[in-house]
Amino acid sequence: MHNKQKLQKHSWLDHAVVYQIYPRSFKDTTHNGVGDLQGIIERLDYLNDGQGGGLGVDAIWLSPIFCSPMIDFGYDISDHRNIDPLFGNLEIFDELVAQVHKRGMKLMLDFVPNHTSSSHPWFVESKSSVNNPKRDWYVWHDPGPDGLAPNNWLSVFGGSAWTFDEQTGQYYMHTFLSAQPDLNWHNPEVKKEMFGIMRWWLERGVDGFRVDAVPHLFEDKKLRDNPPNPNYVPGQDDEYEAQYHVYTNNLPETLALIKEMGALLDEHNAAMINEVRLGQRGDHLRDFYEACGDNRTCQPFNFRLLNAPWQAQTYREIIDKLEKLLWPDCSANWVFGNHDMSRLAIRLDRPRARLVAVLQMTLRGTPFIYYGEELGMIDGGLPPKRDDQRGKKTPSRDPARTPMQWDASKNAGFSDTEPWLPVGIDYKEYNTASELSDPDSFLNLYKVLIGLRKTSPVLLDGKYESLETGSDQVLGFTRNLDKKKILVLLNFSKQPQVLSLPQLGRPGLLCATEPSLRPEQEIDCQKLSLNPLESLVLDLRL
Ligand code: BGC
């Protein structure tokens, strides 16, 4: 059971808006077409200048910046205690920490505990012989009786999770690419070393970690085969879904480890956001919350709305269900995009992405914004012969990683040379410079919403309550704190919707997705209709 008293206190994460930067794509200052840490420093004022200006985010999460052969763009680490020269060095990193803190923001790094790069010195040693002291730092096994892989485990990126090593005659296991061998977390030396790495960054001033690929940390010691998933549709579902990953995902040891990591981070008032998968059978979200114990700055990512069908009723059900699953004072979060997903404005479309912005900033829970979503950026094209490493059959994730669109100049102001990925096709219209001067832009919508959220105790801490709106196309809810209420209405349809709302006092308009269509500040809830794909945030003066 949770220590309720301790859970009453809020953590900085509860009230933060977190912004994810994909460092390769934010700002290039070294003229090589790839973003770097100095570029991030130069653009910090855009995020928050510390004086009330900028987008107003409170924390930044950087995708990996450590030394890496970049086969999975940094999720394949070859030195955990250094910065890849592509991005800078430790001195620039220290400056980044200082500059982030000077503006009152927090800095979170990506921590990748499940695997290393195959060129990490640990793996090079481990691979050198079966008797090497680091052999057991990774998951090695003899071939099965047929001479093939030891069991049926699959790699998330396709094919078997096992690769044969000719030199030592054994297979090693990799949840992702063969260039990303899994660490063996059953080995206490691995744990000691990885905890040491976390401590090292915390002592350098880091305010927390987004922890990568958490469900995969432990594998069954007996190497039992995963059972088939009877719901798998070949040719339609991802090949990885062909099995129930009972022996490779979310083992009980994982939850115990999260608890220990959470305690370490709690000592430093640092955050831990765990990347978990939606369960194939049932839900592990609550387990991961419970694993965080008393640490309020520890949360699992909540991806439940990421791919939800665009229906007001479905969204309502998902949100209501989550609210029921979590205890009232529990920290929540909502994720709508990241570096692994197609961009919001493509998965949905731009008008719908604006509704999502309103939803994300008004729901209970920490919002995570993927860089460029605040501009309405769309997926880009890939240069010929370039793809990421997920293999040919799965679509590349790179289209959602195109350069940040700063202005309408060549290369969108990202770089003075050809960027590593082509800039988005409509960057001349969708960029920070032009959007700042347009009151109806994405950027200004995000700024208004973030400003509203930060200054509204109701939006920060208020209870969520679902509301019947009289239209099944309109999602409605209130956030309530003491005697204050904020009402949020979102029309999911392309048709106007007439609402029938209970008597709600005299609502004042706080935010509208299309401000120019809503000139009046006072709204009569008894005669309210919403424009197609319109959303309103209303202050209910009771
Ligand atoms: C990250 C991916 C990465 C994978 C392997 C994921 O969860 O978000 O970008 O490829 O882990 O580290």
What superfamily in CATH does domain 121-173 come from?
Oligo-1,6-glucosidase; Domain 2 (3.90.400.10)
CB 423 within 8 A of CB 402: yes
User: Which amino acid, 30?
Assistant: T
Angle, to 10 degrees, between the axis of helix 350-362 and the axis of helix 442-455?
A: 10
Nearest-atom number in ligand 1 for the CA of 338 is 8
Nearest-atom number in ligand 1 for the CA of 275 is 7
pLDDT tens readout for residues 104-129: 999 999 999 999 999 999 999 999 99
CB 294 within 8 A of CB 6: yes
pLDDT tens readout for residues 174-225: 999 999 999 999 999 999 999 999 999 999 999 999 999 999 999 999 999 9
pLDDT surpasses 80 at 384: no
Ligand 1 center from residue 176 Cα (angstroms):
8
Closest by CA position to 59, among listed 108, 11, 94, 98: 108
Query: Where residue 391 falls among pLDDT bands split at 50, 70, 90?
Result: very low
267 is catalytic: yes
Structure tokens at 540: 């209910």
Residue tagged active-site, from 267, 416, 426, 438: 267
* Closest protein CA for atom 1 of ligand 1: 212
- What whole-number percentage of the chain has pLDDT above 70? 95
pLDDT surpasses 90 at 163: yes
User: Which amino acid, 448?
Assistant: V
* Closest protein CA for atom 9 of ligand 1: 340
Ligand 1 center from residue 340 Cα (angstroms):
7
Nearest-atom number in ligand 1 for the CA of 114 is 12
**CATH class entry, domain 463-539:** mainly beta
pLDDT surpasses 80 at 293: no
Domain positions in the chain:
14-114+188-220+252-454, 121-173, 463-539
Structure tokens at 272: 């831990």
What is the number of alpha carbons within 13 Å of residue 167 lying toward its C-beta? Answer: 10
Outline where 382-441 has alpha helix (H).
432-436
- What whole-number percentage of the chain has pLDDT above 90? 83
pLDDT surpasses 90 at 385: no
Residue tagged active-site, from 212, 239, 266, 388: 212
Residue 467 backbone class (left: φ over 0; alpha: ψ -120 to 50; beta: rest):
beta
Distance in angstroms (rounded) separating the CA atoms of residues 537 and 529:
14
pLDDT tens readout for residues 400-459: 999 999 999 999 999 999 999 999 999 999 999 999 999 999 999 999 999 999 999 999
Task: Give the per-residue pLDDT at 281.
Answer: 65
What is the number of alpha carbons within 13 Å of residue 466 lying toward its C-beta? Answer: 18
Which residues' Cβ are closer than 6 Å to ligand 1? Answer: 72, 75, 112, 176, 212-213, 275, 339-340
| Mean model confidence pLDDT for the chain | 93
- The preferred substitution site among 21, 76, 176, 211 for testing ligand 1, maximizing ligand atoms within 8 Å of CB, is 176
Ligand 1 center from residue 535 Cα (angstroms):
34
Residue with the larger pLDDT of the pair 283 and 346: 346
pLDDT surpasses 50 at 7: no
Query: Where residue 308 falls among pLDDT bands split at 50, 70, 90?
Result: very high
Distance in angstroms (rounded) separating the CA atoms of residues 264 and 258:
10
* Closest protein CA for atom 11 of ligand 1: 213
212 is catalytic: yes
CATH level 2 (architecture), domain 14-114+188-220+252-454: Alpha-Beta Barrel (3.20)
- The preferred substitution site among 212, 338, 342 for testing ligand 1, maximizing ligand atoms within 8 Å of CB, is 212
Task: Give the per-residue pLDDT at 227.
Answer: 97
pTM: 0.96
